[in-house]
Amino acid sequence: MIRGNVLKPKILSPLGLLNRGHRFLESAITLGGSRSDAYAQFHPVPHYLIGHAIELLLKAYLSAEGTPERRLRKLNHDLDELLRSADDAGLGAHVSLSVTDRGSVEFLNTHYSTKQLEYTTLSAGETRLVSYQDLPYLEEVASKLYDGLRGHCLAKTKEQREVERGIDSDTDSQE
């Protein structure tokens, strides 16, 4: 029972999401970088890991900007929609993504958001999974996101924790 308290939308830890996204990126690099055989050329696991890393990194930024957990969940696994939402929230002030970077995320999204990287089935006319040679480029895009957002997410997480503890830094600095 809640007495006198107004429920606030739950905000996920930007730093927690960012760090988890970075772990997925590191796993993709480890797995993708260790394989050079023909099988690895179309192996979906590193692509899935990078897709998930990008998803979490963009959600980290959105969380840092105050997007509630409920809204993040509604954005689902759609990297295009996450990138649009992040752009609308001011992503460009922290990370500069080229047209090629964005196109790479968009192409990955056609496979990631539809779960084709997890449940591989291709119908007539569908595009095949991005090739293994594209992994270093996708890794670079995810690394740009991580590097550009790390400081911002750390600062916003600290601010959130202060608010949760009832510390008003403006009031403290005036005393």
Q: Where are the alpha helices (DSSP H) in 6-164?
A: 14-33, 38-41, 44-64, 69-75, 79-88, 99-112, 135-164
75 within domain boundaries: yes
Q: Please tell me whether residue 7 adopts helix, strand or coil conformation.
A: coil
Q: Is residue 30 part of a domain?
A: yes
25 within domain boundaries: yes
| Residue 136 within a domain | yes
- Of 16 and 161, which is predicted with more confidence? 16
Using the predicted structure, report yes or no on whether residue 33 has a pLDDT greater than 70.
no
Task: Label residue 154 exposed, middle or buried (CB < 10 Å: 0-12, 13-18, 19+).
Answer: middle
DSSP 43: -
Domain for residue 50, yes or no? yes
- Give the whole-angstrom CA distance, residue 49 versus residue 6: 38
Q: Does position 127 have pLDDT exceeding 70, yes or no?
A: no
Residue 173's pLDDT band, with cuts at 50, 70 and 90, is very low
Residue 170 lies in a domain: no
CATH number (domain holding residue 133) = 1.20.120.330
Distance CA 139, CA 46 (A): 10
Over residues 18-43, mean pLDDT: 77
- Number of domains into which the chain is organized: 1
User: Which residue range is the domain that position 124 belongs to?
Assistant: 14-165
Distance CA 29, CA 136 (A): 8
Of the pLDDT bands very low, low, confident and very high (cuts 50, 70, 90), residue 174 is very low
pLDDT confidence tier of residue 148, bands split at 50, 70 and 90: very high
Label residue 85 by pLDDT band (50, 70, 90): very high
Please indicate, yes or no, if residue 173 is contained in any of the structural domains.
no
Residue 153 domain-assigned? yes
Note the pLDDT of residue 1: 42
